[in-house]
Amino acid sequence: MRIGELARRTGVSERSLRYYETQGLLASERTPGGHRAYPEAAVDRVVRIQELYAAGLHSTKIRQLLPCMRDQDGGPSAIATPRLVADLTAERDRIDRTIADLVRSRETLDEVIDAAGDA
């Protein structure tokens, strides 16, 4: 699959896909002419990357994390080091706090929306 199709299927811009490659998050084969060629599994991987980005992880952490993830074609190809586990645990706690925060903000929005609905 080429980059255009991958972009279409994942909803991620070609620009971002190329950026992911420079960050070591997404590998690609190349055609003899130098065009990128992706395996089917790239779709899942890009979706995962997007999720992690949206969860506030930086590319550095994602790069360390990806090899330790179980992807659809088999088990993880690496086990997290204790150092990485500590980092990820911190990220996990941060995500917990973020979720709690989002829930509070959602309640705030709902209050305002409901108050307007009563009017």
Residues that bind its own copies (CB under 8 A): 48, 51-52, 54-55, 57, 65, 68-70, 76, 79-82, 84-85, 88-89, 91-92, 95-96, 98-99, 101-106, 108-113, 115-117, 119
Give which of 25, 35, 99, 110 is closest to 63, Cα–Cα: 25
Choose the one of its own copies, DNA, none that binds residue 101, judging by a C-beta under 5 to 8 angstroms depending on kind: its own copies
Query: Distance between CA 10 and CA 44 in Å, rounded?
Result: 8
Amino acid at 81: T
When asked if residue 45 is in the footprint of DNA (CB under 7 A), the reply is: no
Q: Is 80 left (phi over 0), alpha (psi -120 to 50) or beta?
A: beta
Return the number of the residue (37 or 85) whose C-beta is nearest its own copies.
Answer: 85
Number of residues this chain uses to bind DNA (CB under 7 A): 24
